[in-house]
Chains A and B, each alone.
Chain A
Amino acid sequence: MDKKLLVLGIETSCDETAVAVVRDGRHICSNVISSQVKIHAQYGGIVPEIASRKHIEVINQVVESAINDAKITLNDIEAIAVTYGPGLVGALLIGISFAKALAYGRELPLIPINHLEAHIYAVYLEHPQINLPAIALLVSGGHTEMVLVKALGVYEPLGRTKDDAVGEAYDKVAKWLGLGYPGGPIIDQLAKSGNKEAIRFPRAVMKRGKYDFSYSGLKTAVINYTRNAEHRLSSTDGLSLAGGLPLTEVPPLNDIVASFQEAAIDALTNKVMNAVKDTSAVSIIIGGGVAANSRLRDQLNEKTAGKGISLYIPSPVLCTDNAAMVAGLGFHKYNTGKMADLSLSVKPNLKWDE
């Protein structure tokens, strides 16, 4: 029987300052997220130095809110879990410095948490029993990773992006088309009114690593497509288009983004389903900000229907960066003795198996 434990989790790997209190790896007592999205929106992306400074400005207040929301005092906290990678070095440093100071001052155990693994754990906060093995797909602005989950803490990395992350492709395409930031929700919304079959953008086929992903080519295809369209509009030389469209009309923006989204999501779901088949996995776990994408959810629901495969996607607040997943996973790491001392340092390039 696992020990009972009240864990404070801290997550500052990117642009969210997040602190949560979770009891026994399961019960979320509080989950506070201070987002910088609005600040970064004006720059069309996350600006690391701004991220670090904002973490410093708000972290005290976010910890206080998490304690108050949980209706406890700092004295009740029994362990501190903190994300130490992967992520932005300056942003991670704020979180682990705070966690170390708190652990030292209060003589509490310090539990280092891998951000990637925490995203998988997010589903356990809402579904304590998940049938394994599972294929987990982690998709966000910084990550596109697929792993086989054999047990909690036992992972076999299957594939990852060879160039851009899928969320990064959404952000860059949105910026290119003048749609704003963050690109994911904007494109998802606009795509709903568009024809996803309007343009056949390429689905990357990998020469090696059949579970790997590539989004640079798709991004470039959208840029090429719109440039060709502009060129065609401004000239009469009848330049031919990759999409083979009639030369007299350019598809509206919603058709372009719907077609982009279809190509981006097809690549994800096809590879997930191939991996499920090859590994005889019985569940699919999705995490990261792109898990909120409506087309990804629809496609996975369609492709798993009637196949006896369970699909787990956390609630939106647990899909994006949060500290409940950090505090929750912290409980399990504590029970398996995975504590750190005060020499803990950040690992911006942390991998699955570290």
Chain B
Amino acid sequence: MLTITTQGPEQTRAIGKRLGRMLHEGSIIALIGGLGAGKTVITQGIANGLEIDEDITSPTFLIVKEYANGRLPLYHFDLYRFDTPSQLDFFSIDEYLFGNGVCVIEWAERIEHMLPSEHMRIDIQWVKENQRQINLISKGESSSGSNNYQKIIKSMQG
């Protein structure tokens, strides 16, 4: 696990950008953090790192937005509205998770049971006004894991 403290959205966005540059086909990023933590901000950075030049706007209304013009496709999910398990009965995310793009999932704790065991989890905690503590965690990956989340986290340290 890597812990980074950021001072303001620009720094949070920069973390996303560095991360975005290292992601590859099938990467899954689970974002956890309350309202106003900076989940969309870090996603904007990831999109930048994926060389997507469109604006990344809130997907709350549409649940998922797709961005196809970057180095890899980005699927940006927002599960804000799914706050009781029964709402997920008809929801399927598999075709995205096992597709050829990068999935970034806001409020991912709501579908934790649907995620492949190997993914990167990013916890964003509100510390104070402009300060956030960001934890990057490789989940369920052995040291030889194909997604290299551990390797990515290691190189983020340097």
Bound CA span A165–B38, Å:
16
Q: Is the Cβ of B126 less than 8 Å from the Cβ of A162?
A: no
Q: Contact between A161 and B35 (Cβ–Cβ < 8 Å)?
A: no
- Interface members, chain B 59-105 (any A CB < 8 Å): 60-63, 65, 80-84, 87, 89-91
B35 contacts A44, CB within 8 Å? no
Verify if A49 is at the interface (C-beta below 8 Å from B). yes
Measured between beta carbons, the chain B residues less than 8 angstroms from A53 are 90
With an 8 A cutoff between CB atoms, is B158 at the interface?
no
Q: When A45-B81, A47-B82 are in contact, do A164 and B35 touch as well, CB less than 8 Å?
A: no
Are A172 and B87 neighbours in the complex by a CB distance under 8 Å?
Answer: no
B95 to chain A, nearest CB (A): 13
**CB atoms of B87 and A219 under 8 A apart:** no
- Considering the complex, give the chain A residue whose CB is closest to the CB of B38: A220
Q: Which residues of A contact B36 (CB under 8 A)?
A: 176, 216, 219-220, 223-224
Per DSSP, chain B at the interface is: loop
In Å, the complex CA distance between A53 and B90 comes to: 10
Q: Does B112 contact A (CB under 8 A)?
A: no
Chain A residues contacting B56 (CB-CB under 8 Å) are 163
A228, closest chain B residue (CB): B129
Cross-chain contact of B61 among A142, A175, A223, A228 (Cβ < 8 A): A142
User: In this assembly, does A102 line the interface, its C-beta being within 8 Å of a C-beta of chain B?
Assistant: no
B58 and A164 form a contact (CB under 8 A): yes
Given known pairs A48-B63, A349-B65, the reply for A172 and B35 (CB within 8 Å) is yes
Q: What residues of chain B have their CB less than 8 Å away from a CB belonging to chain A?
A: 9, 34-36, 38, 40-41, 55-58, 60-63, 65, 80-84, 87, 89-91, 126, 128-129
Residues 3 to 62 of chain A near chain B (Cβ within 8 Å): 43-50, 52-53
Count of A interface residues, CB-CB < 8 Å: 39
Chain B residue at minimal CB-CB distance from A50: B87
CB nearest to A218 among chain B residues: B36
Neighbouring A residues of B65 by C-beta, 8 Å: 349
Is B129 a contact partner of A242 (Cβ separation < 8 A)?
yes
Contact between chains at A49 and B87 (CB < 8 Å): yes
A89 CA to B66 CA, complexed, in Å: 13
Q: List 15 A-B contacts (CB under 8 A).
A: A45-B80, A46-B81, A47-B81, A49-B89, A53-B90, A86-B62, A88-B63, A141-B61, A164-B60, A216-B58, A220-B38, A223-B34, A223-B126, A239-B128, A349-B65
Contact residues in A for B34 (Cβ distance below 8 Å): 223
Name the A residues within 8 Å of B62 (CB-CB). Answer: 86-89, 142, 348-349
Interface residues of A (CB under 8 A from B): 43-50, 52-53, 86-89, 141-142, 160-165, 168, 172, 175-176, 216-217, 219-220, 223-224, 227-228, 231, 239, 242, 348-349
Closest Cβ–Cβ distance, residue B58 to chain A (whole Å): 4
* Neighbour of B35 across the interface among A43, A86, A217, A223, CB < 8 A: A223
In the bound assembly, the distance between CA atoms of A175 and B81 in angstroms comes to: 11
Separation of A242 and B128 alpha carbons in the complex (Å): 11
Q: Which has the most chain A C-beta neighbours within 10 Å: B40, B57, B80, B87?
A: B57
Additional 13 contacts, C-beta under 8 A, given A45-B60, A88-B62: A43-B84, A44-B83, A46-B61, A49-B89, A142-B62, A162-B55, A164-B40, A164-B57, A164-B58, A216-B41, A223-B34, A239-B128, A242-B129
A216 to B41, CA, bound (A): 9
Cross-chain contact A168 with B63 (CB below 8 angstroms)? no
In whole angstroms, how far apart are the Cα atoms of A180 and B36 in the complex?
A: 18
Interchain CB contact under 8 A, B81 and A224? no
User: For B41, B58, B90, which residue has the most chain A Cβ atoms within 10 angstroms?
Assistant: B58
Cross-chain contact A216 with B40 (CB below 8 angstroms): yes
Residues in chain A near residue B63, CB distance under 8 A: 48, 88
Given contacts A161-B57, A163-B57, A165-B61, contact A47 B35 (CB under 8 A): no
Residues of B within 8 A of A89 (CB): 62
Please tell me if the beta carbons of A163 and B83 are within 8 angstroms of each other in the complex: no
- Contact present for A176 and B60 (CB under 8 Å): no
Give Cα A167–Cα B41 distance, bound, in whole angstroms. Answer: 19
Residue of B nearest to A241 (CB): B129
**Chain A residues within 8 Å of B82, by CB:** 47
Q: Which residue of A lies closest to B81 (CB)?
A: A45
> Is B129 a contact partner of A47 (Cβ separation < 8 A)?
no
Cβ contacts under 8 Å, B91 to chain A: 49
Among B35, B57, B60, B80, the residue within 8 A (CB) of A162 is B57
Return chain A residues, CB-CB under 8 Å to B60: 45, 164, 168, 172
A168-B90 contact in complex given A44-B83, A46-B81, C-beta closer than 8 Å:
no
When distances are taken between beta carbons in the complex, the residues of chain B under 8 Å from A239 are: 128
Q: Across the interface, which residues of A come within 8 angstroms of B55, CB to CB?
A: 162
Whole-angstrom distance between the Cβ of A174 and the nearest chain B Cβ: 11
CB distance from B10 to the nearest CB of A (A): 11
